[in-house]
Amino acid sequence: MIAPLKRILAILAKEFIQMRRDRMTFGMMIMVPIIQLTLFGFAINSDPRHLPTAVYLEETSPTVRSIVAAMRQSTYFDIKQQVFDPAEADRLLQNGEVAFVVEVPSGFTRGLLRGDRPQLLLSADASDPSAASGAVGQMNEIVRRALNESLGRGWSSLQGQPPLVDVVVHRRYNPEGITQYNIVPGLLGVILTMTMIMITSMAMTRERERGTLENLLAMPARPWEVMVGKITPYVGVGLIQTGIVLLASTFVFGVPFLGSPWLLLACVGLFIIANLAVGFTFSTIARTQMQAMQMTFFFFLPSILLSGFMFPFRGMPDWAQWIGSVFPLTHFLRAVRGIMLKGADATAVWHNIWPLLIFITVASFIALKRYRVTLD
């Protein structure tokens, strides 16, 4: 009995030594649970509050003001600005600058006092149905309480059961609240992130691991020629993936495609470049393909959790939103959803494109700098 135990102990000890030597794996084992605990424990919230809201008020009676105040107090709505033009309100909603627009028509207060049940319009950006649902669900209750306080309890109870105000909710861009409308375009970004980063980081690392990179560089190929030659095929792979996802999105899931396909293609191109730059940077750091895999995972995990793909971006605390804003996926998701679901044009998605451009610049700079170092 004792001999097998001794041998098992010997193997055990060897395994621990190797585990400690392999910094990357060791780091993974420690960091991944910490990252997950932090993200799931603190960052993720499926009932987002403080959602940016614009108000379009055709009249501003004390009653209307009390409704706006009650919305703010509910913590669901963050009244960012007052607009004076319905077109401006549309634009804000389409750009994703606000999640809600509250519209109070003229004659609201008069109608209310007459008992006409005037309408109050709440337009919600439902391209992410789960992000909007909490606040939408609370709206009737918020309005009822505001009126109670504004008009006095006795008066409202006199009117009996049906609410005094008819809260009309417009779920824009996804009126039926279909989850697939949000998930499938987002999936495009997730799939591209995963494969582009993994494939490029592995492809380069493989050349180094097998010693063929040295041979390649001893021949007349210049470093940048090697880089371009190695990366370009994967741009093609990325485009094929894009085609597959878009076909499935349209024909299998029936997701609407309102915007310009060319604009989408341009965004996909930028996003692929951004991910290839990350993959290439990883390939200059990782010594083995295993490490390249691990680094990809390290990047992928927070990308998918903090980008707004799985959980509402606006539901996260500020620090998590800042971290999330670093990842190209975050901006790409907004651009794709904007183009496909909201029919956004180039000016509307521009504020999602420039962060991608900055990311590409920085990541390529690091990649090239690291690349030079590894060659030596």
Please state the closest distance from residue 376 (CB atom) to another protein, in A.
6
Please state the closest distance from residue 216 (CB atom) to another protein, in A.
8
Please state the closest distance from residue 211 (CB atom) to another protein, in A.
4
Q: Residue 65 or residue 210: which is nearer to another protein going by CB?
A: 210
Please state the closest distance from residue 209 (CB atom) to another protein, in A.
11
Point out which span in 14-22, 209-217, 291-299, 311-319 binds another protein (CB under 8 A): 209-217
Q: Residue 121 or residue 237: which is nearer to another protein going by CB?
A: 237
- Look at residues 167, 175, 177, 176 and name the one whose alpha carbon lies nearest to residue 102: 167
Q: Residue 46 or residue 215: which is nearer to another protein going by CB?
A: 215
The span from the CA of 198 to the CA of 81, in Å, is: 43
Please state the closest distance from residue 221 (CB atom) to another protein, in A.
6
Residues 6+ apart with CB under 8 A from 16: none
Read off the DSSP letter of residue 315: G
Is-contact 140 163, C-beta < 8 A? yes
Is-contact 302 35, C-beta < 8 A? yes
C-beta neighbour count of 30 within 10 angstroms? 10
Binding mask 11-50 toward another protein (x if CB under 8 A, else -) reads ----------------------------------------
By CB under 8 A, the residues from 165 to 184 that bind another protein are none
Binding mask 210-229 toward another protein (x if CB under 8 A, else -) reads xxx-xxxxxxxxx-------
Q: Residue 217 or residue 285: which is nearer to another protein going by CB?
A: 217
Q: Residue 7 or residue 222: which is nearer to another protein going by CB?
A: 222
Question: Can you tell me which residue has the tokens 């999602």?
Answer: 352
CA separation, residue 318 to residues 12, 21, 75 (Å): 44, 37, 15
Q: Residue 217 or residue 326: which is nearer to another protein going by CB?
A: 217
Please state the closest distance from residue 133 (CB atom) to another protein, in A.
51
Is-contact 115 164, C-beta < 8 A? yes
Please state the closest distance from residue 28 (CB atom) to another protein, in A.
26
Q: Residue 86 or residue 229: which is nearer to another protein going by CB?
A: 229
Please state the closest distance from residue 203 (CB atom) to another protein, in A.
12
Is-contact 59 113, C-beta < 8 A? no
Residue count, binding to another protein (CB under 8 A): 14
Is-contact 238 196, C-beta < 8 A? yes
Residue type, 41: G
b/e map 96-134, b = 16+ CB within 10 Å: bebbbbbbbeeebbebbeeeeebebebbbbbbbbbbbbb
Residue 116 phi, psi dihedral angles, 5° rounding: -85, 0
By CB under 8 A, the residues from 347 to 376 that bind another protein are 375-376
Q: Residue 145 or residue 206: which is nearer to another protein going by CB?
A: 206
Q: Which residues bind another protein (CB under 8 A)?
A: 210-212, 214-222, 375-376
